[in-house]
Structure 1
Amino acid sequence: MVKVNSKPWKPLVTGRVLRQVAAAMLPFYRRIAASRSYAREWTTAIVSADLDLMRSLLSRIPSLEGVDNYGTNGIGYFISFPFPLPIAFYTNGTTIPPGMARYTFNTDAHRCIARAVIPLYRELARNRNFAESLAAAIRRNDIRAVRTMVRSLVKTSALKSVSIEENGLALLFRTRFSKYPYRNLLFQEMM
């Protein structure tokens, strides 16, 4: 168990949390997949660490219009959603693993990943039983069940691994568009 503020930290993800985050992010991934110009602008915002441009682009997605908790590290982005304690924030994002590159993000790789994760986010957003089952598997640290559930929906050969991290999911992709791997993440921020 990890200790946070002297209290034991326990996995707290629920199906409701996964459903809400997926429902908010699904239109974003659809837009990235469908619009090369929007995806290029998003890449510009990431690489230049332009939070104002990120805000402008997020405001074009009704489900993300009021999001205040987002950021970039120059190689990816994170969008966080507030929840009542003890969860605090649950985060989604796509990034190159730290230490591999600086100030680079590939639009075509991102679009490929967005297309790949849409079925997963759609199922999480619409299917309460699926979301509850996935959350329960994460809480149990049942990687076999998590991999089976994710791979049943994310069909691309670019998906190289699925892991449980920080009370959530880490999907590792290697696309033909970039020499760098990318990770699509759903996780609970540790406070």
Structure 2
Amino acid sequence: VIQNPKMKETILLILFISILSCKSDNKENYIKESTNRIGIKKLKSSDKNIKDSIVEYLKINGKEYANQIWLVDKENDTIGGNYFDLYVNDTTKLGELTTLRFVLTKPTINWESDMFVIFPIPENKLKEDFSNLSEIKLDTFYSLKNDKIPHPELSNLNLPLNHITEFKYDYQSSGKKVLRGVVVERGEFENKKYERRLFFEKSIYIKE
């Protein structure tokens, strides 16, 4: 699958004028700060060659961060962007495993990139602004392509296994739980290595 070059240019432009935290092969970080826009914001473009966009701004470690991006047409239908989908039951019974499935629906780098998910151990140690991400114990869950587990039942379904991660978590107590972590995309573009991080937070409930 070849990503539309104009759509890729639009995403990169949005990231550039917002906040882009991305690593290249020279290990430098590129972060552009801007004014307070925390939340879901719609950006309209007067240029007919650049699509309108909806951007999810988060406060990460005290700085504004352009997280997920949805490119939309004039009817507000999603036609591209950089975002993921998280599939998890809102309620799970105590003693049963909670299954989390992440799909990098629209990658930034390219369709051949790989993804993995960073999740705190235990799950409640990651702060709301992710500021202690480098200070706590983390577990890494790789894509179905690279998790070293055979998936013969998926081989003929033409799924993007490099952009799907699935794992299970065993909660030891009931009540409201907050899932926080990072979806990481890594790959090469024009012979340079890049990394793009998408942060997530979702509440679920474990019942007795």
TM-score (norm 1): 0.30
TM-score for both structures, normalised by structure 2: 0.28
Question: Greater RCO between the two (CA within 8 Å, min separation 6)?
Answer: 1
Q: Which has the higher strand share?
A: 2
